A and B are shown apart, each in its own frame.
Chain A
């Protein structure tokens, strides 16, 4: 379906260069929500970027934000996916036509987004393919319709930096995630921060206001065994570590530690990320 001129949602009307018309699929009222955050980043997302997204997207959803991005593989897709997984709604702005077929791997996500009352937008002809020039134009829409921009990862000459440039022109607040100086996909973000074009995004961004901390009363579904308690205490004192380190530190056979960790995992006391075990 397409909309033209005055019928565009107000957020989109304000974007300059003006949008003459666009095609949409899904819940168009999503474009008028009060809290929209644009999350952009490199197509070559690293594990670090993935980890960052898995931390911040749930929090943003909980804060009531609708997310918007470009539905490109890498950071975009991952953040769309996490939004849906956490019960949120998301908007995808395509750098190609609304009817252009998408990669089979993304079909599932595409359907789920629409199921959850999401929205897809495109300024191009329905079957048009993406080219080098369609993406900067799309970026202006992504940035134009949001309240703030978060850049997760960006290479030094990347599309994400183009989005940051739009944000600067449109006076939108930009946050960038600082990253390892060894990582090619953090070079752009680090540069934005160093130049003052973006504020560094840290986790205390989310600590304020409406993010309600759940009651910290730990109720165990059953009494922990001696061995389980010892393991938890060890993790609390020593911090996250690998299974091998735990076995060495606790001086127990690794098989027994494995079994304990399974039980604790099922109880929700611990979790594992990148091979490191930590308290929940």
Chain B
């Protein structure tokens, strides 16, 4: 007998349908053969499936079993074909009273343990999304990751604990209740932020820069001595970022699902990602890749923040690979069997010491480095990366006695309130770029858009020219100032850019190094 079970292959962030054909034949030497360009995990499927079936109280057919994973020329990988193969074998051997049609409108996707239990799988969300796309009504996946699929409307998600349960369900003896659909509401992150803005003492300018960065999506670098609070500021950033919109949420969850980073029972990622890779991270770790190309840190930071702490400590070649995603908002990973593209549109935040010892310009400690070493150290951060950073901020080593200046309560802002302002500014930008596909923030504007969306009156242009001359701004820096000024104006609720906005924006130019 021949059974057809439908399943899913994930390639990058896309999913393709795979037909698992199972033939159980009387003739021929008993054994299980799997064809269809499967990898080692699929080869090992044989052992798992056999035991899982036997340990579920079903007799394993002592016949010649042939399994084909179609299309035959698409390389298959992973352990998620265990379930469809097992179901296929049982149906094709006709050992149970199961209507073959029951499997027609469903996807089966999951890894089996020797005891028949279903293990956690990667990419369940993608499988569910494919089901919706192709009009497949049901999907059977492990209970450990079924919630991921529950956010997809129009698809019945059956959470399966073990193979025996599934078989009882398919026979109609004991039915599994499908999950209720989870709604895609942009709910704010439930848990407390790691660091609240109000916890950071002093650092008014740096805080202001982080707020501007969060509002307009501007890349930001904090330069200052050790202990000044750069890492703390970075940790506070997520607390003021607006939550993901429903579509953005899905995008991010897909990436995490494929990477196998979804929590057990996790459904949807609603909080903006915040990735802080260590400076020993390899190129593949940062950009993605590997034999089974997995998303790298830049993609895990998609629609969120990538924080490079101590940027000069990263290897130069590793930093260079950041250029493409920072320019295009995505990375292309080429492997032997084709190209995979992962989105990587993130806000970059970096921190650095001003010199190797860290005490350059320190008010009380002397820097021992010497001009040559300082120049060498600065060159470790490549010009093109620095060029794409709009906000350059010096972080003061906070001196405790200076903090005793009484500060009125109205001046201390908590993250919650700041986030509201950031969200308002973002709303203005969403409106502004309504017609432009893929553009959500001021930072993304190119020179053309700057000219279009940021018109300047003659006296403001005059002021800007004076400043450009005095501070020797490059053409690139000139446009950066306008973009930052546009965000400052948005935060102030001003439809036009005024001189005071330009005047402030100029302070964030590249002059801390």
Task: Give A residues with C-beta under 8 Å from B.
Answer: 43-48, 50, 73-74, 78, 105, 180, 182-184, 242-245, 247-249, 251, 253-256, 258-263, 265-266, 274-275
Contacts and interface: CB of A to CB of B under 8 A. Distances in A.
A244 B204 contact: yes
Q: Classify the secondary structure of B's interface with A.
A: helix
B134 interface: no
Contacts of B208: 253-255, 258
B176 interface: no
Nearest to A45: B371
**Chain A contact residues: over half helix, strand or loop, or mixed?**
helix
Interface stretch (B18-26, B272-280, B360-368): B360-368
8 contacts: A73-B372, A180-B366, A243-B204, A247-B204, A248-B204, A258-B504, A263-B503, A274-B361
A46 B504 contact: no
Nearest to B398: A244
B361 A275 contact: yes
B408 interface: yes
Contact of B466 (A105, A182, A242, A266): A266
Given A47-B367, A50-B371, A255-B504, 12 more contacts: A43-B370, A74-B370, A180-B366, A183-B366, A242-B396, A244-B202, A244-B203, A251-B408, A255-B488, A256-B500, A263-B503, A266-B463
A183 B470 CA distance: 34
B27 interface: no
Nearest to A44: B370
Contacts of B360: 47
Contacts of A274: 361, 363
B16 to A, nearest CB: 51
Contact of B504 (A259, A265, A275): A259
B394 A266 contact: no
Contact of B205 (A74, A180, A182, A244): A244
Interface string B452-478: 000000000001001100100000000
Contact of B368 (A43, A184, A245, A247): A184
Given A47-B360, A73-B371, A254-B208, A262 B366 contact: no
B449 interface: no
Give 5 nearest A-B pairs by CB, closest first.
A259-B503, A254-B204, A262-B503, A44-B370, A259-B504
Counting chain B residues whose Cβ lies within 8 A of the other chain, the interface size class is: 35 or more
Interface of B: 202-205, 207-208, 360-361, 363, 365-372, 375, 394, 396, 402, 405, 407-408, 411, 463, 466-467, 470, 488, 499-501, 503-504, 506-507
A44 B205 contact: no
Tell me which of A182, A262, A263 has the highest count of chain B C-beta atoms within 10 A of its own C-beta: A262
A249 B405 contact: yes
Contacts of B372: 73
Contact of A259 (B205, B361, B500): B500
A157 B360 CA distance: 24
Contact of A248 (B207, B407, B466): B407
Which of A50, A78, A251 has most B Cβ within 10 Å?
A251
A251 B394 CA distance: 21
A45 B470 contact: no
B366 A45 contact: no
Contacts of B363: 274
A262 B405 contact: no
A38 B504 CA distance: 43
Contacts of A48: 366
A261 B366 CA distance: 27
A266 B361 contact: no
B205 A260 contact: no
Among B202, B467, B500, chain A packs the most CB atoms within 10 A around the CB of B500
A50 B394 CA distance: 20
A45 B370 CA distance: 6
Nearest to A180: B366
Given A43-B370, A248-B405, A266-B467, A243 B205 contact: yes
B109 to A, nearest CB: 52
A263 B396 CA distance: 22
A254 B205 contact: yes
A48 B363 CA distance: 11
Contacts of B405: 245, 248-249
A258 B370 contact: no
A245 B402 CA distance: 8
A251 B366 contact: no
Contact of B361 (A47, A180, A183, A262): A47
A160 B273 CA distance: 55
Contacts of B506: 262
Contacts of B396: 242, 244, 275
